[in-house]
């Protein structure tokens, strides 16, 4: 199995130590720890990890700005997972929009932590539907009906629009396949084409585009037709 390298950035010693122990126990190498965003950026540049576990609220440089710097200047562009508390941080949405591959609650179980790191390393994204819904609702309440991004969806076929609408609601590939009566391989092809046409990094950004363009409304259904 290919070695998986992780940087843990959090200003709480107990969080860093706990995550290191959990990951190491599963054969995942924590190559560096950081107590603030500036240290995180430096650690990523030095160690070139596959995944970064990034707290949002840290001294000196917060996790949001650190994420932006990492994803615009790091060789190999590591995947960033945002760490947050029970009450979702107001900056998490912006961090995802900056290119983070998902988010985890800090009280995540050891099994879910390991699975999350392996999931984003494989190129997928962390899209827990319940948390995604809360996040989008907060964003919508804060910014009203004004979308932050008006991305052109005309390059997508009707089927791709339908897939994007369902994907933005948090459906997995298996759920998409069942809903659309397609094979998972076909769904993966549609998702890959959507990401390519819209210049998106991963499924997280596809969710954001789905809501920002009005393709999907908060608490609503996908608007695309077949």
Residues forming a β-bridge with 103: 82
> One digit per residue, pLDDT tens: the chain, 226 residues?
558 999 999 999 999 999 999 999 999 999 999 999 999 999 999 999 999 999 988 988 988 899 989 988 655 679 999 887 755 656 666 777 777 888 888 888 999 899 989 988 877 666 655 566 666 666 555 544 444 444 678 899 999 999 999 888 777 788 889 999 999 899 989 999 998 998 887 777 787 788 778 787 655 444 433 3
Of 71, 70, 73, 96, the C-alpha closest to 83 is: 96
Claim to verify: residue 37 and residue 117 sit in the same structural domain: yes
Length of the chain: 226
- Distance between CA atoms of 37 and 14, rounded to whole angstroms? 17
Rounded to two decimals, the pTM is 0.70
Claim to verify: residue 117 and residue 25 sit in the same structural domain: yes
Domain hosting 174: range is: 146-212
Claim to verify: residue 117 and residue 158 sit in the same structural domain: no
How many other CB atoms are there within 10 angstroms of residue 110's CB atom? 14
- Distance between CA atoms of 7 and 10, rounded to whole angstroms? 10
Q: What local confidence, expressed as pLDDT, does residue 179 receive?
A: 93
Question: Which domain CATH number covers 35?
Answer: 3.40.50.2300
77: in domain: yes
How many other CB atoms are there within 10 angstroms of residue 213's CB atom? 18
Q: What local confidence, expressed as pLDDT, does residue 148 receive?
A: 43
Q: What local confidence, expressed as pLDDT, does residue 202 receive?
A: 76
Q: What local confidence, expressed as pLDDT, does residue 84 receive?
A: 79
Residue 208 in contact with residue 98, Cβ under 8 Å? Answer: no
20: in domain: yes
Q: What local confidence, expressed as pLDDT, does residue 151 receive?
A: 66
Per the structure, the count of domains in the chain is 2
137: in domain: no
């Amino acid at each position: 199995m290919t070695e998986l390298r992780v940087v843990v950035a959090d200003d709480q010693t107990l969080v860093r130590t706990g995550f290191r122990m959990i990951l190491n126990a599963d054969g995942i190498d924590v190559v560096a720890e950081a107590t603030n965003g500036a240290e995180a950026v430096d650690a990523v540049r030095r160690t070139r990890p596959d995944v970064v576990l990034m707290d949002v609220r840290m001294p000196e440089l917060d996790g949001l700005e650190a994420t932006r710097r990492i994803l615009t200047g790091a060789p190999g562009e590591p995947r960033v997972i945002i760490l947050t508390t029970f009450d979702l941080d107001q900056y998490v949405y912006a961090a995802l929009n900056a290119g983070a591959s998902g988010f985890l609650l800090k009280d995540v179980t050891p099994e879910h932590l390991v699975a999350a790191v392996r999931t984003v390393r494989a190129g997928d994204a962390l899209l827990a539907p319940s948390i995604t819904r809360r996040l989008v609702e907060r964003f919508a309440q804060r910014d009203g009906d004004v979308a932050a991004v008006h991305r052109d969806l005309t390059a997508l076929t009707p089927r791709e629009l339908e897939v994007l609408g369902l994907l933005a609601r948090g459906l997995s590939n298996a759920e998409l396949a069942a809903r659309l009566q397609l094979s998972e391989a076909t769904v993966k092809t549609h998702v890959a084409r959507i990401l390519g046409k819209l210049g998106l990094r991963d499924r997280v950004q596809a969710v954001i585009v789905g809501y920002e363009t009005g393709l999907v409304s908060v608490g609503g259904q996908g608007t695309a037709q077949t």
